[in-house]
Structure 1
């Protein structure tokens, strides 16, 4: 399955969220390769995952594997138990904060 097929198989609202995330991640991580990894879209540098998203029944989760490197304080992101990976649940297309996402990706692109 390709990223295009993954997004096309989602319900309309989730597909809109996924499309917005994909566009921002593609632009924000130009040196990372977007591909299907463990069943969902992930952008990797070599074998190192940087960002991605995964659809669940009621939301799409933005995944940032190096979220602890984001220095901009935000309450939007939730840290994993070990504090290195951060995520954000998005339930509707208008919840995608492109400015914040672009800022996070700029920090992760370094």
Structure 2
């Protein structure tokens, strides 16, 4: 089930982006049933034990789906931008670009491979891998 605040975020998007948001939110919520979801830093994010796992946001180049630990997934379809953090993203501009099999594979990896963003401030910016 999609949280009301996430549904409200989705409803504010263009018609095309609403469809992309809907499929992302529905798939993420069904695959990460144990996750808490909320609007965090102005966009939808799912957390496992307080650690951010996946989220999406509207950007100039399209709808960005980001996995906080995605760089460690070693998946060529995910773009790794920086070296300091372990995030990786994919951008969508059309509903047809969303590959459910890829999304489910990444969500499975997001449960298995996590970096501890929850305690990054306490560790003065140093990330540690969670087991």
Same fold (TM over 0.5): yes
Partner of 1:109: 111
Task: Indicate the structure (1 or 2) with the bigger Cα radius of gyration.
Answer: 2
1:46 is displaced (CA, Å) by 3.2
Give the number of the structure with larger relative contact order, counting CA–CA contacts within 8 Å between residues 6 or more apart.
1
Partner of 1:41: 44
Aligned pairs, number? 108
TM-score by length of 2: 0.76
1:29 is displaced (CA, Å) by 1.4
Q: Which runs of 5+ in 2 are unaligned?
A: 113-131
C-alpha separation between the residues in 2 aligned to 1:70 and 1:31? 20
Deviating more after overlay: 44-53 vs 3-12:
44-53
Asked if residue 56 in structure 1 is aligned to residue 83 in structure 2, the reply is no
TM-score by length of 1: 0.89
1:14 is displaced (CA, Å) by 0.3
Superposed CA deviations along residues 31-74 of structure 1, whole A, max 9, x for unmatched, are 21111000000001233100010012451000100103324x32
1:15-34 to structure 2, matched below 5 A, reads: 15-34=18-37
Runs of 4 or more consecutive aligned structure 1 residues displaced over 4 Å after TM superposition:
none
